Amino acid sequence: MEDITSEEQVKGNQELKEAGQSWEKNISSLQDPEPKPAEPSGVEKGPETGSPPKGSPPRSPPSRASTSLSDLGRSHASPSPSSLQELSFIPSTLTLAPELKNLTTPSPSDSTTTDIPKAGIPHPDLLEQPPGNKEPSHHLTSPSNIGQQFRQSRSHLYGPRNVSRNHCKQEGLKSDVFQEENSNSDYSLDQPEPQVFEEAPSTLETAIQNAKAYLIKTSSKSGFNLYDHLSNVLTKVLDERPDDAVDIIENISQDVKKAQFNKKLDTLQNENEMLPTYEIAEKQKDLFLQRHLEGAEQDSEEEIVENPLPNVMESAFHFEQAGIGLGTDETFRVFLALKQLTDTHPIQRCRFWGKILGVEMNYIIAEVEFREGEDEDEVEEEDVDEERDEEESESDEGEEDGLPKSIYKAPPAIPKEENRTGANKYVYFVCNEPGRPWVKLPSVTPAQIVVARKIKKFFTGRLDAPIISYPPFPGNESNYLRAQIARISAGTHVSPLGFYQFGEEEGEEEEELEGGRESFEANPDFEGIQVTDLVESLSNWVHHVQHILPQGRCNWFNPVQKNEEEEEEEEEKGEEPDYMEQEVGPPLLTPISEDIEIQNIPPWTTQLSSNLIPQYAIAVLRSNLWPGAYAFSNGKKFDNFYIGWGHKYSVDNYTPPVPQPVYQEYPSGPEITEMDDPSVEQEQTFRAAQEAAALDSEENEETEEEEDEEDDDD
Amino acid sequence: MDAESLLLSLELASGSGQGLSPDRRASLLTSLTLVKRDYRYSRVLFWGRILGVVADYYIAQGLSENQLAPRKTLYSLNCIEWSLLPPATEEMAAQTAMVKGRFMGDPSHEYEHTELQKTNDGDKAFEEEVVVRLPLSEARKLSSYFHFREPVLLKNKSLLEKASLDPSLDFMDSLEHDIPKGSWSIQMERGNALVVLRSLLWPGLTFYHTPRTKSYGYIYVGTGEKNIDLPFML
């Protein structure tokens, strides 16, 4: 150390001498036992004292710089090659960021001792910067830990910096090594230093503090600060020594930042990262796994009981011929999901009904028929509802006072059809995606169907979403979905003529009860229909789902009979004559050629799946009434499928239903109008007449007449 | 969607149930290549399918080098023989706006349009007072409607390079959609691996995009009618 300072003195470099002296002074004043910690303080002090002349216009004479360079060269040469290498980048690194030297103090305790008396730099800042501490100290200590070399190298830290700052003025610099790094360093360092160092020491310190505090301010996003970043960038530049560093400085900066981000991610943010992709993949994995686990147990049962699982893939293949379907992999996922459904529920028959698109999510719908284990929860719920209604009506009747009550009675609620009959013949399960749990839809009520016919709403994909519509919809989206399913099924589920026939025994029973057959069974003698016949003639297709009456039910329910028993008066008036007539729709197994046209547009379109090879083509039936409903038949087999938004087609646009008619007020009649007040003459004549009458009747019956008089007065 | 990557695109867009049968796919792949050669297009897009009452129209679009130029639209009934649709004029557009209902699937079918703005599906309108006959221009007009109204490209997908639109290689992952809020349904299918946009204003238009890749496209399969009931349905 002393060698160096003496050399500097010999060279006559005034500034360096000052710096060296002050630096010596610091060491002596602090009296630090260890040489290492003392150095940072010296280095720190160095720039403060030595800098003002540098900032001054005359700068430094060329000779000084060159001497300092030679000075450095000597010191490099003396210790070891490793130290030379070390010096070649360390000084520059540190000179580029003068304040960094504060941070390079090897241990926190030492830094406090050195910093408190001198610079007054807040310790928290220093202590809070482990990265800044780490990085340079690593560079410093790793090449050579020998105390003397280290000290020497540190002592020269400001030497090269002086050179570097003055380098812009001296052209004839000999050393190529320093030329590179200095030219690099000039750009970044000339800016902050004049600010810092031209001020008086007292304000200078605060200015340093402020600037540093600003630079150290941690970014809320990345948790990093510009100060460390700059030092890292420059360290990287000097480490790698690219040819055109100025050109790629942006990239270097980016790289440094990226390296930092990765570090953060590793420690903090990479945990608990649950992307939906993985989430759904995890759930769908269960679909694939379950097959192996439950397969062994289920196989034995399924052999006994008829396997309810439909052959989804076969149907999908046929529909693909027609250009309809979900795509191969999604179809198979649905297939697996259906398998899961049939494994977990007592299902006798199952079918892939279709898919209804929603705004946020879609519905995949399965149509099932339970074996004998239909859940009884719903039945109980119904009972509760009915009881509630009865209670309300009773309480209404119980109140009796003079005021008239509202005589308006809601139109009689039409009960929903029993399970396994009519529109509730099948139970529907929906799920948003294969792999997600199946949700059983509630059974449909006639009121829901009636209202659903009047509204047209997009499905959101959430079953509990409310349906906000003009005729208030009784229920949420699950009810609306169920109602649309019932309507679509009733309209578009068709089969080739002859595939189904009426069950004889059951049919007769039904005939007696309802006047129409409502059950059918597969025809065992079905021989198949030529595909060309199916395409050419619509009469070869029949509906096998019951028509839904305007009432909202498949089977007629007479609401008037009930009324007769309870309220005969209203019945006499004939309030609702419409209900007297039974609504009749087309019976079961009616050919679709009798379907009603939609304003000159035929309700069905038939096509052959392939015109190129008609021999093996299948007949494809497309509903124009319900866009998205398809049926295919290859003569022997058939299936129905729906995919779409769940809306009915109409040539005209949707028109909201007209408002309810306004109830007419009570007609003005003798019950409403009143007579004028009795005039004085009237009362006088009346009194005269009374008196006369009283005189006459006194003789006959006194008491009665008096009472009569009173009555008349009233 | 691009004619070259038709198969993958169809698979991706099939979540809406809009696909093509195998023989249609094969014939499209064959014939669109020939269309590209014969008409000297730089790119051929398969635009979609309009469901007619009797038969379907398959619509393709050809892009020339100057991509800002109006695109040529072709139609076909059997996916093999393609015919050029005449460009729709303003007048035709106005007339077509009067016509409601479905396409018939017969290119020579002419819609009668009387002054009462009543739609008749007469065959050949040889009656005297019948005003205008709208043959295929309706299809043309609707498809032009679509790609003016629904140019669903990823935002920043095309940079204006050298005064013409070229698909750029780097783009952001955001999607562009327009002002009528709620006229699009965005869904992430298969986890987040696939973004599917469905137009609610034109039900049947499906747009897909696989994030972090360049694959995107749209296809229309539908009746070709605008859903102007949208406000009621949301």
pLDDT in tens, A409-448: 777 777 777 777 777 888 899 988 888 888 888 888 887 7
Least confident stretch, A37-46, A481-490, A557-566: A37-46
Angle at which helices B6-13 and B22-39 cross, to 10°: 130
A485: CB partners within 8 A, 6+ apart? A353, A356, A365, A428, A441, A646
A601: CB partners within 8 A, 6+ apart? A624, A651, B53, B101, B102, B121
Cβ-based burial of A342 (10 A; exposed 0-12, middle 13-18, buried ≥19): buried
* CB-based contact A359 B200, cutoff 8 Å: yes
For residue range A251-278, what is the model confidence (pLDDT) as tens digits? 888 877 777 655 544 555 554 555 666 7
The overall average pLDDT reported for chain B is: 64
Closest CA in chain A for residue B233: A457
Interface test with B, best of A275, A277, A469, A634 (most B CBs within 10 A): A277
pLDDT at A545 over 60: yes
In the prediction, which pLDDT does A688 show?
Answer: 92
Q: Nearest 5°: phi and psi at A402?
A: -70, -30
Closest CA in chain B for residue A458: B233
Interatomic CA distance for residues A154 and B27, integer angstroms: 79
Closest CA in chain B for residue A277: B191
A60: CB partners within 8 A, 6+ apart? A15, A53, A54, A162, A166
Question: Beta partners for A369?
Answer: A349
Residue A472 or A509, more confident? A472
Chains A and B form CB pairs within 8 A to the count of 109
Closest CA in chain A for residue B202: A645
pTM of the model: 0.61
Interface of A with B in 441-470 (CB under 8 A): 455-458
* CB-based contact A651 B101, cutoff 8 Å: yes
Q: How confident is the model at residue B124 (pLDDT cuts 50, 70, 90)?
A: very low
Cβ-based burial of A41 (10 A; exposed 0-12, middle 13-18, buried ≥19): buried
**Cα A19 → chain centroid:** 64
pLDDT at A345 over 60: yes
In the prediction, which pLDDT does A685 show?
Answer: 92
Interatomic CA distance for residues A458 and A644, integer angstroms: 11
Q: In chain A, which residues have their Cβ closer than 8 Å to the Cβ of B189?
A: 433
* CB-based contact B21 A645, cutoff 8 Å: no
Q: What is the mean pLDDT of residues B42-67?
A: 77
* CB-based contact A651 B14, cutoff 8 Å: no
In the prediction, which pLDDT does A15 show?
Answer: 46
Q: How confident is the model at residue A590 (pLDDT cuts 50, 70, 90)?
A: confident
Coil, helix or strand for A590?
Answer: coil
Task: Yes or no: say if A353 and A366 are a contact pair by the CB < 8 Å rule.
Answer: yes
Q: What is the predicted ipTM?
A: 0.76
A609 CA to chain B: closest CA distance, Å? Answer: 8
Residue B133 or A711, more confident? A711
pLDDT at A133 over 70: no
Interface test with B, best of A284, A329, A356, A359 (most B CBs within 10 A): A359
Interface of B with A in 122-181 (CB under 8 A): none
Residue A672 or A302, more confident? A672
Q: What letters, b where the CB count within 10 A reaches 16 and e where it falls short, cover A97-123?
A: bbbbbbbbbbeeebbebbbeebbebee
The minimal CB distance from B19 to the residues A320, A607, A656 is found for A320
Beta strand ranges found along A436-540 (DSSP E)? 439-440, 494-496, 500-502, 520-522
Supply A178's token pair: 């320093």
A195: CB partners within 8 A, 6+ apart? A207, A211
In the prediction, which pLDDT does B105 show?
Answer: 63
In the prediction, which pLDDT does A689 show?
Answer: 92
Residue A364 or A447, more confident? A364
B51 CA to chain A: closest CA distance, Å? Answer: 10
Closest CA in chain A for residue B194: A277
pLDDT at B172 over 60: no
Q: Give the largest Cα separation in chain A, rounded.
A: 163
Interface of A with B in 620-659 (CB under 8 A): 622, 624, 627-628, 643-645, 647, 649, 651-654, 656
* CB-based contact A359 B54, cutoff 8 Å: no
Interatomic CA distance for residues A440 and A418, integer angstroms: 16
Q: What is the mean pLDDT of residues A669-682?
A: 85
Q: In chain B, which residues have their Cβ closer than 8 Å to the Cβ of A359?
A: 182, 185, 200, 234
Supply A344's token pair: 């977990």
The closest of A498, A497, A464, A496 to A478, measured between CA atoms, is A464
Q: Nearest 5°: phi and psi at A607?
A: -145, 155
The minimal CB distance from A277 to the residues B101, B187, B191 is found for B191
Query: What DSSP designation does A405 have?
Result: P
Q: What is the mean pLDDT of residues A469-487?
A: 85
A223 CA to chain B: closest CA distance, Å? Answer: 25
Q: How confident is the model at residue A546 (pLDDT cuts 50, 70, 90)?
A: confident
Q: In chain A, which residues have their Cβ closer than 8 Å to the Cβ of B203?
A: 644-645
* CB-based contact A359 B185, cutoff 8 Å: yes
| Amino acid letter, A519 | S
Closest CA in chain B for residue A456: B233
Interface of B with A in 40-69 (CB under 8 A): 49, 51, 53-55
Residue B231 contacts A where some CB pair is shorter than 8 Å? no
* CB-based contact B191 A278, cutoff 8 Å: yes
Residue B20 contacts A where some CB pair is shorter than 8 Å? yes
Long-range contacts for B59-64 (Cβ within 8 Å, ≥24 apart)?
B59/B139, B59/B143, B59/B220, B60/B3, B60/B32, B60/B35, B61/B147, B62/B35, B62/B36, B64/B40
B141 CA to chain A: closest CA distance, Å? Answer: 19
Task: Yes or no: say if B62 and B43 are a contact pair by the CB < 8 Å rule.
Answer: yes
Q: What is the mean pLDDT of residues A633-639?
A: 82
Q: What is the 3-state secondary structure (H, E, C) of B147-185?
A: HHHCCCCECCCEEEECCEEEECCCCCCCECCCCCCCCEE
Distances (CA, A) of B3 to B30, B34, B38, B53, B170: 10, 11, 15, 26, 22
Residue A358 contacts B where some CB pair is shorter than 8 Å? yes
Beta strand ranges found along A432-492 (DSSP E)? 439-440
Percent of chain A with pLDDT over 70: 54
Closest CA in chain A for residue B205: A644
Task: Yes or no: say if A256 and A240 are a contact pair by the CB < 8 Å rule.
Answer: no
Q: What is the mean pLDDT of residues A346-354?
A: 86
Q: Nearest 5°: phi and psi at B166?
A: -125, 145
* CB-based contact A327 B24, cutoff 8 Å: no
Q: Which helix (H) or strand (E) holds A48?
A: helix A35-55
pLDDT at A90 over 50: no
In the prediction, which pLDDT does A370 show?
Answer: 82
Residue A592 or A269, more confident? A592
Query: What DSSP designation does A79 have?
Result: T
* CB-based contact B17 A643, cutoff 8 Å: yes
For residue range A379-415, what is the model confidence (pLDDT) as tens digits? 444 444 444 444 444 444 444 567 888 888 777 777 7
Residue A76 or B141, more confident? B141
In the prediction, which pLDDT does A146 show?
Answer: 40
Interatomic CA distance for residues A491 and A626, integer angstroms: 8
In the prediction, which pLDDT does A520 show?
Answer: 73
Coil, helix or strand for A651?
Answer: coil
In the prediction, which pLDDT does B66 show?
Answer: 60
Coil, helix or strand for B114?
Answer: coil
Query: What DSSP designation does A525 have?
Result: T
* CB-based contact A456 B188, cutoff 8 Å: no
* CB-based contact A361 B22, cutoff 8 Å: no
Q: In chain A, which residues have their Cβ closer than 8 Å to the Cβ of B57?
A: none
For residue range A275-297, what is the model confidence (pLDDT) as tens digits? 666 777 777 777 777 554 444 44
Interface of B with A in 83-122 (CB under 8 A): 100-102, 119, 121
* CB-based contact A325 B19, cutoff 8 Å: yes
Percent of chain A with pLDDT over 90: 1
The C-alpha angle with vertex A368 and arms to A362 and A369, in degrees rounded to 5, equals: 160
Question: Beta partners for B189?
Answer: B194
Q: Give the largest Cα separation in chain B, rounded.
A: 60
Place of tokens 């070891």: A80
For residue range A13-52, what is the model confidence (pLDDT) as tens digits? 444 444 444 444 444 444 444 444 434 444 444 344 444 4
pLDDT at A305 over 80: no
For residue range B147-160, what is the model confidence (pLDDT) as tens digits? 555 555 554 444 44
Q: How confident is the model at residue A217 (pLDDT cuts 50, 70, 90)?
A: confident
pLDDT at A705 over 60: no
Task: Yes or no: say if A329 and A279 are a contact pair by the CB < 8 Å rule.
Answer: no
For residue range A325-336, what is the model confidence (pLDDT) as tens digits? 787 778 888 888
Highest mean pLDDT among A370-384, B55-69, B82-96, B195-209: B195-209
Distances (CA, A) of A245 to A86, A236, B216: 20, 10, 39
Number of H helices, E strands in chain B: 5, 13
The overall average pLDDT reported for chain A is: 65
Q: In chain A, which residues have their Cβ closer than 8 Å to the Cβ of B103?
A: none
Q: What is the mean pLDDT of residues A596-606?
A: 76
Supply A24's token pair: 């010596």
Supply A40's token pair: 């940072």
The minimal CB distance from A327 to the residues B15, B187, B228 is found for B15
Task: Yes or no: say if A384 and A484 are a contact pair by the CB < 8 Å rule.
Answer: no
pLDDT at A706 over 70: no
Least confident stretch, A285-294, A469-478, A534-543, B115-124: B115-124
The minimal CB distance from B19 to the residues A323, A355, A612 is found for A323
Closest CA in chain B for residue A651: B101
The minimal CB distance from A653 to the residues B15, B23, B229 is found for B229
Q: How confident is the model at residue A517 (pLDDT cuts 50, 70, 90)?
A: low
Q: Nearest 5°: phi and psi at A500?
A: -110, 145
